[in-house]
Structure 1
Amino acid sequence: MDGDDVRTHCLSLPATGEEYPFGPQAAVYKVAGKMFALLAEDVDPQRVSLKLPPDEVEALKAQYEGTVLPGYHLNKRHWVTVLLDGVLDDGEVLGLIEESYDLVVAGLPKRLRPVAPRGS
């Protein structure tokens, strides 16, 4: 899995937009103006930061020490940074992206949620 795969998957989710507010090295993926993923493209290995429930953040950091890190420049309680180094398989990374998206969508007011929910 690489940054292109992450980008493609993020943009496949309903009502997702891509922005570069921090410069060309970091793509931010948002739904209804709320970030659910940040892809650092200018590092090796590439990495994606994702929002997850706090208990899952701690479990993933413990299980994948060195690959799942505290969210870089983000709230460490709610965000992790996942290195795209092959330790997590593609399905696991894609699942975490979807979980982050779903978590952000669930926190949106109903009027701002995408019309077509994911998977329908």
Structure 2
Amino acid sequence: MNNSTLLEYCMAKPGAEQSEQNQWQASQIKVGDVMFAMLCEVEGRQALAVKSSPELAESLREQHSDIVPCEHLNKAHWNTVFLDGNLPDSQFYHLIDSSYQLVLEGLPEQVRQALRV
């Protein structure tokens, strides 16, 4: 998996917008002004940060050594997934989809209606 493929996938989501987080040298992808994914480098490795429920976040970390708590974000909700690990591509897409859906559900109804999702 690589950054450009994941960025393209994220940006295809309705309402997705990209911004740069210079402090972390990362690309944040947001919907309704709320981040649902971040592409960054962690310890010299390309990585994806995604949001999930605390229970799922913990479960994923237990199941996959390439998934760890996110260094810069709330560790209960955010995981870092290393791109050079053994996860299948479909798992990255599923994690992005889940994170996007979780963020969408937390947006005000007006914002969701404006996005038409």
TM above 0.5, one fold?
yes
8 A contact 2:24–2:40 mirrored in 1 = no
2:107 equivalent to 1:105: no
Percent identical pairs in the alignment equals: 36
Query: What TM-score does the superposition give when structure 2 sets the normalisation length?
Result: 0.91
User: 1:80-99 alignment to 2 at 5 Å?
Assistant: 80-99=79-98
2:22 equivalent to 1:16: no
8 A contact 1:70–1:76 mirrored in 2 = yes
Query: What TM-score does the superposition give when structure 1 sets the normalisation length?
Result: 0.89
In the alignment, structure 2 segments of 5+ residues that lack a partner are: none
More helix by share: 2
Cα distance in 2, alignment partners of residues 42 and 68 from structure 1: 12
Q: CA shift at 1:87, angstroms? A: 1.1
Determine the structure 2 residue equivalent to 1:53: 53
Cα distance in 2, alignment partners of residues 49 and 42 from structure 1: 10
Q: CA shift at 1:78, angstroms? A: 0.4
Q: CA shift at 1:21, angstroms? A: 2.8
Cα distance in 2, alignment partners of residues 54 and 19 from structure 1: 25
In the alignment, structure 1 segments of 5+ residues that lack a partner are: none
RMSD after superposition: 1.7
4+ residue segments displaced more than 4 Å: 41-44
8 A contact 1:46–1:84 mirrored in 2 = yes
Q: CA shift at 1:116, angstroms? A: 3.3
More strand by share: 2
